[in-house]
Amino acid sequence: MQALIRTARNHQNSHINWAEPPEGPVIVIPDAAMEDFKDGNQITIYLILIRSISSNTAVIMPPVILYGRETSDGWDCAFSRLPRDLHSRIVALVCDGHVGIVRQAKINHWVLQRCHFHIIQGINNYLKPGRLSRSNELTPIIHDLIKTVLCCIDDEKAQRAIWLLEIYAKCVKSKGARQVLSGFTKHWLDYRAYLYNNEMRLPCTSNSAESCFSLIRTVQGRANGFRTEKSFLAWLEFMLKRQQTMTCRQVDYLHKYVV
């Protein structure tokens, strides 16, 4: 049975083509995932999704596989492998804030939208809201201020929220929380790029790229892991080719906080 499944997978991989990227101005949504193997090898999968500014469908590009951890050089390599014509049509980038990805946006003068989900998840690691939380009384205040910065249309209110966050950050005991808040207050305009570039219909998160990795994790769980690097990469190619595209649109999970 396993041999039949492998044969069918390899047949599909050789006959299914990668989807063609859209025409016109495009947005890129990159993400990376690492995989360790029993022989001690570690690889990083650099994945880039391409979405037209006029569509909600993002095309999955062939991933770049490199040994070692996620690095800025790795992202240089991943972006250099995009077709030249496609690279010239990129106008914006949505990411989790990795320094290598942010550098790509800066050197190419692309609009940079930082992921809302990652900043909320980051602060939740140290200041989790809720009735059962052990965090201090500043936790709900800090979360409300962050949501104001992420979603408030009024720049003056957003700037005031940043000013208050800088003050409250000094009162937080957790070093990790202070670091997260410091990074947020330093780069807060990058989280609001979607408000300043309505014509691009920028998504507020990079979750569409992360969802691609969840597909292979699902298969990995059902197979109780992949024995070899070769097997993992074959299944990765199969799942991404089979998926072809991901839905990628502006999310509304925070719209109730827009004032």
Give the whole-angstrom CA distance, residue 222 versus residue 5.
14
Give the whole-angstrom CA distance, residue 117 versus residue 186.
17
40 confidence band (pLDDT: 50, 70, 90): confident
User: Which pLDDT score, from 0 to 100, does residue 259 have?
Assistant: 39
Give the strand pairing for 57-60 and 26-36.
unpaired
Residues in Cβ contact with 107 at an 8 Å cutoff, skipping those fewer than 6 apart: none
Instruction: Tell me the average pLDDT of the chain.
Output: 89
Give the whole-angstrom CA distance, residue 52 versus residue 86.
11
User: Which pLDDT score, from 0 to 100, does residue 138 have?
Assistant: 87
Least confident of 53-62, 75-84, 175-184, 216-225: 216-225
pTM of the model: 0.89
Q: Domains of the chain, with CATH numbers?
A: 2-115+205-248 (3.30.420), 117-193 (no CATH)
User: Which pLDDT score, from 0 to 100, does residue 41 have?
Assistant: 85
227 confidence band (pLDDT: 50, 70, 90): confident
pLDDT tens digits for 63-100? 999 999 999 999 999 999 999 999 999 999 999 999 99
DSSP symbol at 189: G
